[in-house]
Amino acid sequence: MAKVSLTIIQNRPNRHGEYVVMLQIAAHNKSIRTATDVTVLKENWLQNEGLVLGGKSGDKLALSKNVRITQIKNGCEVKMIRNQERVDKMDVQALKKFLLSEDEVVNTDFFSYCKARISEQQDLGRKKSAELLQSTSEKVKDFWGSSSLDFSDINLRFLQQFEGYCLRTKKKVKGKKIEKETEKTMSTNGVAVYLRNIRTILNQAIADDLTENYPFKKFKIHTEVTRNRNLTTEEIRLIRDYAAPNRRQEIARDFFMLQFFLLGINTFDVFWMPRSGMVGDRLQFNRGKTGKFCNIKIEPEASALIDKFRGLKYLMWFADQSVAERIPGHSSKHSRKSDFQYKDEAAFNKMININLAKIQTALKINPAAKITTYYTRHSMSSIMREIGVSVDDISLCLSHSSPDHKITHIYINKDFARADMANRKLINHIQGIEEKTTKRRERKKKT
């Protein structure tokens, strides 16, 4: 059971020979001390009572000092009594943080903590991350059947039951603001996303000293091999050379190739890229998904496509005409002035993917599923590997962090140069530049 008491550290006097009265907090056989603003001479400290000795032979300010330290101790005890059930589950560090805070109630609720993290993601502009976390919170609430969930209740059995619940419960989707139940259940990898989000929330709560509970030490998040999202070199070339019959398919084709030429850049990042993000012949930005700094060289093939769609405020004119720019602070579906204005990157990406599917049908490209903008990232990395680019350099191109390779500021320019060379090698391969050079050399040898 947690408790608080008052003490002094007898071998640590201050320069006046007095000792600071310490508030000692104990929980789960561990204790920690924190200083009060009261000092006392050793001979005037009554250890058993936790009070300052007064009277003629004691401290002249004993009355006011005792009022102060009693006030501190009693305040802590009242907070502990009011939150007894949750306090009993807290470790000593979390208890100290709570007792010294202005909060009167311990907040170890998963859902309220989740809500705060969602707000943080939204403030950082990480819309997709916020949406995934919101979806996770709603799924956990559906499973738990209550609007409150203490961190301590998330144990091994909870995770096992939650996983089973997700795998057997039909998915829900929102269409035109109406929530519908589909005939499909969640995939193993879809459930894994939710479980990883729960794990992230617990890790953050541990870092904030709200809990020590970590059931993932005994629980393995199951995943399965995803479908192949790789296009071949020839299929990339078919899309590049596709004669688009209309403006939307033309935009879809060009945007897909622009992403490919820019190392599989995310739609969010390129849609909202400001003009200032283009520094010389490079794009410099922080990834919306991870916040990691990226520095991509704009090769001539990418530059030609950027010039084709160059915007005024943003790199491309699509964002110039987004709802946020047309009507600041408002959202109106009736505000469009042309068929090529999009509310945000999600609406733009939806249009691109719809038309990529049409291009796929026209070209008779038949992968396991419909081609989307995400295929650029998978395809460029797979083709790079086929033409001899190292896994380390592919990782750099994808802006992945490797625990085995800590990038320092000393080598950061060198690393970007490696990514530049890998990208140029990839584009040369797609454009057939190396093949043309080889054929010219062969012709010269024959003559």
Render pLDDT for 365-378 as a digit per residue (tens, 0 to 9). Answer: 977 788 999 899 88
The token pair at 51 is 């009070």
Strand 282-286 and strand 293-297: pairing? antiparallel
Taking 50 as the threshold, does the pLDDT of residue 428 lie above it?
A: yes
Model pTM score: 0.61
What type of residue sits at position 409?
Answer: H
375-386 helix and 233-240 helix, angle to the nearest 10 degrees = 130
pLDDT tens for residues 81-115? 988 877 887 788 888 888 888 777 667 889 999 99
DSSP 16: T
* Contact (CB, 8 A) for 299 and 424: yes
Question: Tokens for 101?
Answer: 């805070």
The residues, ordered by sequence, that sit 6+ positions from 316 with a Cβ below 8 Å of its Cβ are 270, 271, 273, 306, 309, 310
Does pLDDT of 405 surpass 50? no
CB atoms within 10 A of CB 447: 4
- Both tokens of 379, joined, read 């395809």
Nearest by Cα to 124 from 325, 318, 268, 251: 268
Task: Judge whether 271 and 319 are in contact, CB under 8 Å.
Answer: yes
Q: Rounded CA gap, 377 and 397, in Å?
A: 10
What 3-state class would DSSP assign to 33?
A: strand
pLDDT tens for each residue of 10-61: 888 998 899 999 999 999 889 999 999 999 999 999 999 999 999 989 999 9
Q: Which residues contact 289 (CB under 8 A, 6 or more apart)?
A: 126, 128, 129, 266, 268
What are the tens digits of pLDDT across the range 286-303?
888 777 888 999 999 999
CATH of 233-443, one of 3.90.850.10, 3.40.50.300, 1.10.560.10, 1.10.443.10: 1.10.443.10
Four-CA torsion 74, 76, 79, 82, nearest 10 degrees: -60
Buried b / exposed e across 221-252, counting CB within 10 Å, b at 16+? beeeeeeebbbebebbebbbebebeeebbbbb
Amino acid at 155: N
For residue 100 the two structure tokens come to 């010294």
User: Residue 410's pLDDT band (boundaries 50, 70, 90)?
Assistant: very low
Annotated domain spans of the chain: 3-100, 110-217, 233-443
For tokens 């939307």, the residue is 248
Percent of the chain clearing pLDDT 90 (strictly above) = 54
